[in-house]
Structure 1
C-alpha cells in the first residue's frame, strides 16, 4: 500500500532537514546558558518575551526543479508491409532531414502492380466515358452506367493501394532530427508494425522534471525559465507545459521547459536543474530553533501582532546554509519572538521587549531553543 505524505508530514521533514543541516555544520558550537524558569510575569500579569523587529531582505527567488534533457519529439518508425531490408542509407547517430531516405525494403512485384493498376485505370476511364455518352443518347440504361462507374472506382482504389505499398518500401525521416536507434540490418525480414528505427527531434529540445505541489503553484505556461545543465551550460527557455493533475504515486506535477536549439545537437537524459524566476520577495535569516509547526502542519514562526498578541507567522523555506536558514512569505517586516516563545500560546497578550535587527545581521543565528529558553527581565 502506498503511503502519501500530507502537508504536515512534508513540513515536518523540511523542518527536520533544516535542523540537521544547521547542527551538522557546527552552528551549535557552544551550549547557551539556559534557565529552566519561565518568563517573568509583570504586575499586569503579562509574560515578557523578547521580540526582534526584522526587516526582510529583498531577494530574487527561483523555483528550482530537478530535471533532465529530452527530445522535443521521439518517433519509432515501423514497417507498414512484410518485406526484406535490402539497403540502409543512414547510420545510428546521423542527422537526417524531413523526407530523407533512411532505408529500403524489397519492393518485390509492387512496381509491376502499380503499372498494371495504372493501365487498368486508364481502360476503366475510357469505358466509363463511353457509358456516359451512350446513356446521354438513351442507348445505355442506368444499370450499365453504374456498372462502368463502379469499375472505374475499383480501378482507382487498386492503383492507390499499389502505390501506397510501393511507397512503404522507402523508409523516410518523418522530420528533421537524429537517428537514435536502428533495430534491423540488411537482409532482415520484417513484418507489419516491426520497429525499424527511432528518430529524435532536438530542435527545440526540452528540459523536463517533476515539481512538488508547492513548486507547481508558482509555475505557469509561458513563464520565462532557464536551466543549468550538468556540464555547466546555462540555457534560456520558456515553460511550455505544467501538468494539471498530479502523479497519483509521487504527487508531483510534470513540467517542461522548451529550449531553442537551431543546431539540433543535444543529448537526451542530461541532468539539469530548471529555474523559474519569481517576483522579488523579502527573505529573513533566522535560527532553525525558531521554526515551529502549527496544528495544520504549516511551517512558520511565532510573532506578535499590533495588539501585542501571539500569532503564528506562516513562512516558507528559501534555503539553508551552515549558520542558519532563510525564510520568505513574512512580508516586508515582521515582529518575531526570539526568546520566551515556548511558554506563550497563540492569542495570548504579552509584554514585548523589542530588539531591532536587519535581515542581514545574523545575531540570532545561535539563539536557544524556545521550548527551553527563558527571558529574564533582570538580565540586561
Structure 2
C-alpha cells in the first residue's frame, strides 16, 4: 500500500479546508500579528533614531608648497627656413637635375640655363660703352676750344671798347666784337651740352652692359642657403619660363638645422613665458629634445586668442623632421601649489572645476582650482589658500553649507 500519495492528499485537503472554510479566521490572525509588530516598533526608544544630518567625510590637512611651474602646450616642429628657388629668366635647362633629399651647400649650382644670344647682347652693350667713352674726349676738346674762343672774343671786345673811347675805333667794330663774344658764348654752351650728352650716353651704355651682365648671371640658379632638396631640380632640357614676378620653379630647399618648435600659448599663460627660457618637447616618436625660446608673438591669433611661441632646437643629424607633433614644455617661474589625489577634483553646479573643503565651522565649501601639473603622486593644484582641509572621500555627497564630520587621513608629504 502506498502511503505517500495518501499523506499528500490529506495535507492538500487540510490546506483547502482552512483556506476556504476558515478564511476569515486566518485573516483576523494575520491582522493581529501585524498590529503586534507595529506596537513593537513604536516602543523602540527615541535614542535609536538618527540624531542629526551631519555627513561623515574623509579629508586631509594640505599645505601649499612652491614647485617649478611650467607652461605646457601642444605644437609641432617647423623648418628653420623653407624656400622655393625660382629662375628669374627663361631658357632651356642644361644642367643635370639634383634629386630630392640631396644636401646642397650655400651658393651651390642647382639649375643652369642655356645662355642663347645673351653673350652677344652683352658684347654689343660693351661695344656701345666703348664708343660712348670714345666720344667724351672729343666733346671735352670742343668745350676747351669754345672756352678759348670766348676768351679771345672778350679780349677783342675789350680792346675795341677802349679804342672807341679814345676815338681810334668805330662803333661798327665795337658792335662786331660784341657779336663775336655772344657767338663764342653760344658755342661754349653747345659744347657743354655735347659733353653732357656724351656722358649721358656713357651712363646709358653702362646700364645696358649691367642689364646684359645681370641677365647672364640669372642663367645660374644657386642655393641661397645650405639645406635639403624637398623636390627634384628642374630636368635637363626642360623649359623654364619666367612669367610674372614669381619666376619659374627650379627646386625647393628646406633647412632643418636648427629646427623650430612652434606652439600656441593661451593668453592667460603667455606672460609666464620669457625669451631665452629653457624648454623641451616630447615628439610623437617618443624622442625628447631641448631648446630655448627665441620668439614670442605680440599679436594674438584672431580665431583662437593664442600667441605663437617658437623654440630653437639643435638638429645636427637632421633626425627631427618638419611637421612632427610635439608636446612642448616651457620653464616658468615657480608657484605655490597643493599636491592632492586626482579623485579629490569635482565640479560645482556651474561646471567649474574645484575641490570641497572643510571650513572652520565644520561645513563643506567649494573652492575653484586650476591644474598646474599631473604626476604619478597626484596633481598639483593652484587656487587654494596656503593651508586647507580638503575632502578626498565623500565630496560628491555634500554641497556648500552642509555640516560635515571629517576624519583626517595622513598625507605622504
TM-score by length of 1: 0.69
1:112-127 to 2 correspondence within 5 Å? 112-127=120-135
Deviations 1:168-219 (A, max 9, x none): 1101000111111136311111111122211111221112233344454533
1:285: Cα distance to partner? 1.6
Aligned residue for 1:150?
A: 200
Whether the 8 Å contact between 2:344 and 2:395 is mirrored in structure 1 is no
- Structure 1, unmatched stretches of 5+, are 1-35, 41-46, 362-380
1:107: Cα distance to partner? 1.0
- Structure 2, unmatched stretches of 5+, are 1-49, 148-187
Q: Aligned equivalents of 1:132 and 1:263: distance in 2?
A: 66
Whether the 8 Å contact between 1:107 and 1:166 is mirrored in structure 2 is yes
- Larger C-alpha radius of gyration, 1 or 2? 2
Aligned residue for 1:99?
A: 107
Matched position secondary structure for 1:246: coil
Q: Higher strand fraction: Structure 1 or Structure 2?
A: 1
Matched position secondary structure for 1:118: helix
Aligned residue for 2:251?
A: 197
Q: Aligned equivalents of 1:316 and 1:74: distance in 2?
A: 39
Aligned residue for 2:63?
A: 55
Aligned residue for 2:117?
A: 109
Aligned residue for 2:314?
A: 260
Whether the 8 Å contact between 2:230 and 2:253 is mirrored in structure 1 is yes
Identify the range of structure 1 (156-165 vs 50-59) with the bigger mean alpha-carbon deviation. Answer: 50-59
Aligned residue for 1:333?
A: 387
TM-score by length of 2: 0.64
Q: Residues 52 and 264 from structure 1, CA distance in 2 versus in 1: closer, same or farther, beyond 3 angstroms?
A: closer
Whether the 8 Å contact between 2:111 and 2:234 is mirrored in structure 1 is no
Matched, 1:291 2:291: no
Whether the 8 Å contact between 1:307 and 1:349 is mirrored in structure 2 is no
Whether the 8 Å contact between 2:94 and 2:114 is mirrored in structure 1 is yes
Q: Aligned equivalents of 1:291 and 1:61: distance in 2?
A: 23
Matched, 1:235 2:243: no
Matched position secondary structure for 2:257: strand
1:284: Cα distance to partner? 2.1
Q: Aligned equivalents of 2:138 and 2:51: distance in 1?
A: 115
Q: Aligned equivalents of 1:38 and 1:133: distance in 2?
A: 124
User: Which residue, out of 236, 248, 256, partners 1:186?
Assistant: 236
Whether the 8 Å contact between 1:39 and 1:343 is mirrored in structure 2 is no
1:313: Cα distance to partner? 3.2
Whether the 8 Å contact between 1:38 and 1:343 is mirrored in structure 2 is no
Identify the range of structure 1 (90-99 vs 162-171) with the bigger mean alpha-carbon deviation. Answer: 90-99
Whether the 8 Å contact between 2:260 and 2:310 is mirrored in structure 1 is yes
Matched position secondary structure for 1:181: coil
Q: Aligned equivalents of 2:329 and 2:135: distance in 1?
A: 70
Q: Aligned equivalents of 2:303 and 2:316: distance in 1?
A: 36
User: Which residue, out of 74, 77, 81, partners 2:82?
Assistant: 74
Whether the 8 Å contact between 1:69 and 1:267 is mirrored in structure 2 is yes
Q: Residues 90 and 48 from structure 1, CA distance in 2 versus in 1: closer, same or farther, beyond 3 angstroms?
A: closer
Q: Aligned equivalents of 1:85 and 1:38: distance in 2?
A: 95
Q: Aligned equivalents of 1:322 and 1:265: distance in 2?
A: 31
Q: Aligned equivalents of 1:60 and 1:276: distance in 2?
A: 11
User: Which residue, out of 214, 218, 221, partners 1:164?
Assistant: 214
Q: Aligned equivalents of 2:349 and 2:298: distance in 1?
A: 29
Identify the range of structure 1 (69-78 vs 277-286) with the bigger mean alpha-carbon deviation. Answer: 277-286
Q: Residues 151 and 224 from structure 1, CA distance in 2 versus in 1: closer, same or farther, beyond 3 angstroms?
A: same
1:154: Cα distance to partner? 1.0
Q: Aligned equivalents of 2:138 and 2:386: distance in 1?
A: 90
Deviations 1:213-258 (A, max 9, x none): 4454533332211122344432221112233333334444332211
Whether the 8 Å contact between 2:79 and 2:255 is mirrored in structure 1 is yes
1:103: Cα distance to partner? 1.4
Q: Aligned equivalents of 1:310 and 1:109: distance in 2?
A: 91
Q: Aligned equivalents of 1:132 and 1:342: distance in 2?
A: 107
Q: Higher helix fraction: Structure 1 or Structure 2?
A: 2
1:79: Cα distance to partner? 1.5
Whether the 8 Å contact between 1:224 and 1:238 is mirrored in structure 2 is yes
